Structure 1
Amino acid sequence: MTSPSEGPRSGLKNPQAAVRGIGAGTLVMEAIILLLAIQPIRIMGGSLSGWGIASVIGLAVVAIALSGMMKRSWAWTAGLVLQILLAACGFFHYSLAILGLIFGAAWIYALSVRRTILGRPGLL
């Protein structure tokens, strides 16, 4: 039996690796969707400027880079900042703000799963 100080047992053999996988998977999925979203925005009448396209590509590259750094504790905070930056890209096109809200919610869920599995108090 576990004592309350040990935190909840998840039943996973390596809970930290599982949590890193959730974070990395979320970021990779976000990068793929961001890159795939560029062309439909342009075709369906969106006026996505060169700066908008560059910011989307830059955010996708940052998401892929962060997915490989999930062992570092600061990467979780950086992932949250990435979601805020994506929502701020709504100034280029409203659909980017919508994607920012969707992936922000997914990231908050990943943080919640991380907290539940690792038994750490607080959001980050």
Structure 2
Amino acid sequence: MTATPPEPRRSGLRNPVGAVRGLGAGTLTIEALVLLMAIAPLAVIEAPRTGAAIAAAVALAVLAVVLAGTMRRSWAWHGATVLQGLLMLAGLLHWSLAVLGVMFALVWAYVLHVRRVILG
């Protein structure tokens, strides 16, 4: 007797690749918006490295938008993972960026989990 290979799991989605890509792009877009909204409180707070923290927030927001637009490429998923690390590293400039970094790293970990479950 030959064993038949198990059928691939069906997610019930018409286009699972597109759905996962949309989830990743949407998450990165929300992250970019939150980073841009973080500029106002950073500008009000008088801290030693406020200018650098604002520049980092803008640069990371731009990077998030670029990555959201390139989610069709496999490297964009890796780049978005690196983005979460960079945001946590930006916490050295201001603690609030570290908090955002941890929050979005957890969200991104969930996105990667959903991607693995749906696409295998």
Check whether TM > 0.5: yes
Match of 2:50 in 1: 49
Match of 1:30 in 2: 31
In the TM superposition, what are the counterparts of 1:105-116 in structure 2 within 5 Å?
105-116=106-117
The yes-or-no answer on 1:95 pairing with 2:96 is yes
Higher Rg: 2
Relative to structure 1, the CA distance from residue 83 to residue 13 in structure 2 (aligned partners, 3 Å threshold; closer, same or farther) is same
Deviation at 1:25, TM superposition (A): 0.3
Match of 2:16 in 1: 15
What is the number of residues matched between the two proteins?
115
Q: Is the 2:42–2:54 contact (alpha carbons within 8 Å) kept by the matching residues of 1?
A: no
Q: Counterparts of 1:46 and 1:66 in 2: how far apart (Å)?
A: 31
Q: Quote the sequence identity (%).
A: 53
TM-score of the superposition, structure 2-length normalised?
0.90
Report the residue type matching 2:88 in the other structure: A
Deviation at 1:22, TM superposition (A): 0.3
After superposition, the C-alpha distances for 1:60-106 in whole angstroms (9 at most, x for unaligned) are 00000000100111111100000000000011100100000000001
Gaps of 5+ in 1: 120-124
Report the residue type matching 2:96 in the other structure: S
Let me know the Cα RMSD of the aligned residues.
Answer: 1.2
